[in-house]
Chains A and B, each alone.
Chain A
Amino acid sequence: MKKKILAVDDSRTMRDMLYYALSDAGFSVEVADDGQDGLEKLHDVQPNVIITDINMPRLDGFGFIEQVRKDAVHRTVPILVLTTESANSLKERARSVGATGWIVKPFDQTKLISAIERVVA
C-alpha cells in the first residue's frame, strides 16, 4: 500500500515539483491549492503525511495546520512545512501551531524524502 501525501501549495510550479518528486519516490500524491482546499480534501485523501506551504491565499499554512490538528482523525498526522526562510521564528511559529517538521526550499528529492522518512515509517 502506497503512502499517501497531501501536498498543499498555491504555486503550481511547487505543486508540480512535489507531485513528480514524490510520485517518483513511490508515494501516492494528492495536491491542494491552498489551506482551504487542503482542508476540503483532507477527509477524501486521508493522507499519511501532509506537506504544506506557509504563505497562501484564503487559508495560510499556520491556519491550515491549526485546523488539521483540531480534526479528530488527523490530530497526529505528520505535517511538514515548506519554507524558503531558514529563519527560526517561522519554524517556531509552525511548531507552535502543530507542525511536525519542515523542509527548507529549494529542496531536492533527497532532502524531501529524508524529511518524510523522519516523520513517517
Chain B
Amino acid sequence: MSNRDSIRDTFFQECEELLESLQEGLTAIDDDTADSETINSVFRAVHSIKGGAGAFGFDDLVSFAHEFETILDEIRNGRLDQPSSFADVLWKSADLLGDLVAAAAGGVAIETHRTSDLISKLVSLMPETSPNSNWEQEAEFQPLAFAFDDPLFSDTASEETTYKILFQPQDSMFENGNETAVLLRKLATLGEATIICDISQLPTFQILEPEKCYLSWMIELCSSASIEEIQDVFEFVEQDCDLKISSTQDALNDTSNAPEDPPPESNPPLQLINDNITQQHDVDGDELEQIPPTRAPAPARDASRANRSSDSKTAGAPATVRVDVERIDKLINLIGELVVNQAMLSQCHLDSELSADSDFVTGLDELKTLTRDVQDSVMAIRAQPVKSLFQRMARIVREASAATGKDVHLEISGELTEVDKTVLERLADPLTHMVRNAVDHGLETPEQRQISGKPTKGIIHLAAAHRSGRVVIDVSDDGAGINRARVLETAIRKNLISQNDNLSPEETDALLFLPGFSTVTEISNLSGRGVGMDVVRSAIRALGGRISINSEPGLGSTFSISLPLTLAVLDGMVVEVAQQKLVIPIAAIIETLLPNTNNFHSIGHQDVIFIRDTVIPVVDLGNILGFRPPLENLTKCVLILLESDLGVQFAVLVDAIHDQRQLVIKALEENYGEVAGAAAATILGDGRIALILDPNDRLFIGHRNAVTTDSRQIANG
C-alpha cells in the first residue's frame, strides 16, 4: 500500500470519528446543552474533514464542508444565536456531509440538488452583519487553483536578472523565531548572491542590547527567479523588517549608499520597486503581462511521496496501536486452536492413570486458566463501544420521524458498553429496523398522544449494558404498547394460530416474530414491505443472540436483544446421541432430569412429560436428527429441559451427558450451508467435529403447536 493510499485510509477512518463527534455535538446543540467547547469541536470536525478532503481533491466534499463550516463559525463566534432553532438544517448538513464522505470513499455521486438546496438553506441562515455574509467562497478557499509549476512562472525564470535587495530586520523578527542567516541562505539558493553586512549602526559593547538588531544587509542577487520568488523568501518577515527589492542598473546606483539611510518610519515596511521590471517585460513579450501579481495557493497534490512502509511508525495517539483486523482475527483463530489443544490434553489426562495432584495435572490446570485468560484478552481487542452504532440510529430516528410526522426524542444510555466488532457491524441492520419500527409502529401520532394525555413528543430509548456475560441492548418507546387483540386477530386471519389457541400476553407478543406477520394494514413505506420482525430475529439469532418483547398497554414497548460478548466461544454441554457427540448451549438448558416411566405420556403421536404441572413435549433427538429409528424405551435416556429464545420449552432425550466446557464455535456455512437442528459446530478434544444444537430450530420448535400450552387468559391488548 502506498503512502497515499494509507493516508487516504486514515482520512476515511478519521472522517468516521469526526462525523461521530459532529453528531454528538449536534445532539448537545439540539438539547441546548452545548457549551462553547462543544460548538468548537463541531466546527473542528467539519474543518478537519474539509482540510483532509482538500488534500485529496474531493471537491464536492470540500465545497459543502466549507459552507457548513462557515455557518458553524458564525455560531462559534456568537454572531448566530440559538442554534437549536435551526438544528434540523444542521442535522441535514451533517447527514449530507456523511453522505459526501461516503461518496468520496466509494466514488458514488450525490444528487447535486441535495447539496445546492442545503447550501441555500445555510446561506439564508447567515446573519447580514457577518463578515462572511458576502460568502466569498471562491476567493478564500481554492483547493485546486493553480499548478505550482505553472509554465507562466517557469518561463519568466529563463532569463537572469540582477536584483538588489536591502534587508533590515526589526527586533520583532527574532522574537518570532526568524533568523537572518536562514533567510539569506535560502535567498542564496536562488542564484549567485553577494551579501554585504552593514555594521555601521552597531553601538559600543557597553550599551549594546543583545536582543536588538543593529545590522542590515545589502544583497546583490543574480538569479533567474521571479521577483515573487524572492519576495516569497521574505514572506514570513515582511512585517518585521524593512525590505527593498529592485532589479535594474538604476536601482543599483540608487541604492549604493542605502545602508546609511535608515528607512523612514512612515513608509510601509515592504516596498517593491518594480517599475523597471515592467519595462523589462515589455521587451520580453506580451505573454509576460499575464503573470498574476501574487502566487495563487498551491495545488492540492499528494503530500506524500515517501516510500516508507505504511506500517512503520505513523502518527497516532500515544498509547494506541492501529492493527489490521485480519491480524487480530488470525490471532483469535490460533487461540481457538490453542483452546482445542488444551482440551485434548485434558482429555488425555482423563484417559490416563495420573493422580489428580501430580505436577502434570497442576500444570494442566494452569494452562487451562492461562488459555482462558489469553482468550478473554484477545477478545477484548476486538471489542468496541456501541456508541457509533447508537449514533447512527440517531439519524434513523430523524429520518423516521420526518417521514411519519411524529415528534421524537432519542435518549441514549450505556453507549460505552463494548461489543465484539463483528457483532456490532452485523447488528446495524436489525437495529435500524427495530428503531424504525419503534417510531413507525411503537409511537402514536402527536394527536393520539395528546388525547391520551402524554407529551406530544415521543421518546425512543436506546440502552446497552453488560448483564451476566452477555450484552443486552434495549430499544424502548413510550408509545401505546402492543395491541394484542389486533395481533391475535391478524395471526388467526393469516392462519398462524388457530382460533382456539389460548395464548399468554408474552406468547401473543412473540407472534410478531413469525414470518410474514405485519399488523399494519397499509404497508408503510418506512418499515418496508416483506421485512418483518422475523428477519430481525433471524439476524439476531445468527449472532447467537436472543430477542424478546416486554410491552405494557398504554405505556410502551421494549424490545431487548441479548447477545454473546463474542461470536467465537460458547459454553456448552457435550452429550451423546446414537454414538454421535452433540453440544447443547448451556444458555438454553433449564435442567437435566432422569425420567421414570410415570412421567411420560402421549398426546397423539407426541410424547410429553409433566414437569411441575406443565406439559412439556419430548423430542427424541436421535430420531429427529435422522441418526436412528424412534426409541422404544424412553426411560433409559437422560432428559434435558431446554428453552428456546422465545420461551418455548421442550425436553430432548439423549443417551449420555459427557461434560460441560467452553467451546470454540466453527461456522458450518463457510463450506457447507445450513444444517437442520444445528447453528454451528465445534471441535472436541479428540479432534472430531460436534454439532452445536440450535434450540430455536424449526425441527424442535415445530412441536409447540402440537400441544396445548397452559390456559392463561389472553390479555386485552
Contacts and interface: CB of A to CB of B under 8 A. Distances in A.
Interface in B279-329: 297-308, 314-318
A63 interface: no
Contacts of A98: 175-177
A90 B11 CA distance: 25
Contact of A12 (B3, B13, B297, B308): B13
Interface in A60-109: 69, 76-79, 84-87, 95, 98-102, 104-109
A17 B304 contact: yes
B299 A108 contact: yes
A17 B183 contact: no
Contact of A105 (B7, B51, B140): B51
Contact of B305 (A19, A21, A104, A111): A21
Contact of B177 (A14, A24, A77): A77
Contacts of A77: 177
Contacts of A87: 140
A22 B614 CA distance: 75
Contact of A24 (B43, B189, B232, B304): B304
B10 A20 contact: no
Contacts of A7: 315
B19 to A, nearest CB: 13
A41 B59 CA distance: 35
A5 interface: no
A37 to B, nearest CB: 7
B308 A84 contact: no
A85 B48 contact: no
A100 B176 contact: yes
Interface string B1-12: 001001100110
B658 interface: no
B141 interface: yes
Interface residues of A, number: 51
Interface string B34-52: 0001001101100110111
A118 B233 contact: yes
B43 A55 contact: yes
Contact of A17 (B148, B182, B298, B303): B303
A17 to B, nearest CB: 4
B467 to A, nearest CB: 34
Contact of A108 (B14, B235, B303): B303
B40 to A, nearest CB: 8
Given A13-B14, A101-B236, A111-B298, A84 B141 contact: yes
A11 interface: yes
Given A31-B315, A119-B182, A121-B185, A99 B176 contact: yes
A4 B357 CA distance: 61
Nearest to A120: B182
B143 interface: yes
Contact of A20 (B7, B178, B179): B7
Nearest to B316: A12
A24 B51 contact: no
A11 to B, nearest CB: 4
Contact of A33 (B55, B181, B235, B317): B317
Contact of B44 (A10, A18, A33, A104): A10
Contacts of B233: 118
Given A17-B303, A20-B3, A11 B177 contact: no
Contact of B183 (A13, A33, A118): A118
Nearest to B184: A121
5 contacts: A57-B41, A84-B141, A104-B297, A105-B54, A118-B183
8 tightest Cβ-Cβ pairs between the two chains A and B: A24-B306, A15-B315, A101-B236, A20-B304, A100-B177, A13-B52, A106-B300, A106-B54
